[in-house]
Structure 1
Amino acid sequence: MVRVDDMVLVPKGSFTPFFLKKVDTNNSSVPATSPATSVDAFWLDATPVTNRKFLAFVNKHPEWHQSNIKKIFTDSHYLEHWKNAQGSADSADLDKPVVNVSWFAAAAYCEAQDKRLPSTDEWEYTLTDNDRDTDNLQKQIMAWYSVPNKALPVVGSKPANGFGILDMAGLIWEWTEDFNSYMAPPDSRNSGDKTLFCGSGSLNASNLGDYAAFMRYSYRESLRGNFTGKNLGFRCAKDTK
């Protein structure tokens, strides 16, 4: 494992995407297949961005402070957990993951660090750990979904995967650069694509038993760039070149 300045080098590799891809996208009669999707090597934050780091960002870039941010970039719940007199995170929460941040704010933070948000393929590849022990991963994620968190733990609370990345499952949801890259009609039975059906119930899924992935993609499909959530945060990525 190569780690520099709280970022881990994720090696080049491939994974089986949750959504199958067609051999010929211009011909809806061609059955979906599940070729491995290749991902180039990239750097990824070892943990999600913390309140401490995001506070330093808004102090340096006050246009992203709660009182200054333009309404077009967020909803009314932006950083609503920062409720102390200074409009910042309580000291006890500084090392917890920052949440209630919009995609725009997350992207701005990453850009300020000369980084970017990870793509969905990069994030899913890192989560699946190069397709190692996917059954156990699904069990871990479903266990997290079934028990609501009373309070967010500090980052680094969840064990590292084979790449050395912490908190990929069981801490928070995370923004990706292209979070809404796979959108389908609410009811695609008449769309001409017979692999999409029943209110997005199939969507070319490679594993119909992977309920955790269905939930992730369903959640992403509901998001908008200005949306915030009390369990939605992010981490940054960076190209190797």
Structure 2
Amino acid sequence: MSKQRKVTIKFFLNKALKPQEALDKDDNVVNLYPLYFQVTYMRKNTQIKSAYGSYYESIEKVENALLKSEEATIRKIVDYLFMEQGEKFTLKGLGKYYEIYSLPVYTLLNRHMIQNLQAIILNCSPQEYAFTLNLFDPEARFEILFEVAKRVFDDFEENISDTFAWKVIVFNEYIKFDVNTLFGYNFHSSIERFDGSLTKEYKAHLQKVFKYDDNKIDARLNLITEIIDQQLNQYNLIGY
């Protein structure tokens, strides 16, 4: 098997771009620049904007937890691509792969569940309440929308199928495992579905916390990976 060459990752603020202006604690105007990282492999390099960073006055002001999380994700993506492509691996298209494979697993599950919820709400009454739920807000969280829907629609639970009820159980169990999705940077990203680490860690969690047998664990893992794959299929990686 081909041996992967050294990969170097360096974070920097892209000062080639127009800065954002802000006031510091002394009301002085300071320039803020977006966080980028440069990946170098076999003397070639590519520069990619961080998906989770913001604008900063200096690189020293970037949260260390963010840098560690981003680097870990990038390395997992590179390792996976090298495993798949071998000696053919180059940095071409890495930005697109990063855009997709760095997505939090929670984001993909959340999007799927909200799409399912939307279909259910269309059959509920009073229908005018449907407009009070901002299902298309990118910050919307299924677990909150679900609880609101139960309260505002008279026949909501009557319209819930067994399949959807099962998905709710699996989703609620998952977010207790991936708590850093909402409270930190150390969340599970979609690349972990492909390198096997998500399956390994979540299986251990289900065994420890819920004492599930292999059949129950496999059922949950199969549903989660099915949803992840379905959501990722919306992205086009052909040509990368």
Q: TM-score range by the shorter chain?
A: under 0.3
Q: Of the two structures, which has the highest relative contact order with CA contacts closer than 8 Å and spacing of 6 or more? A: 1
TM-score normalised to the size of structure 1? 0.25
**Which protein is bigger by CA-based radius of gyration?**
2
When normalised by structure 2's length, the TM-score is 0.25
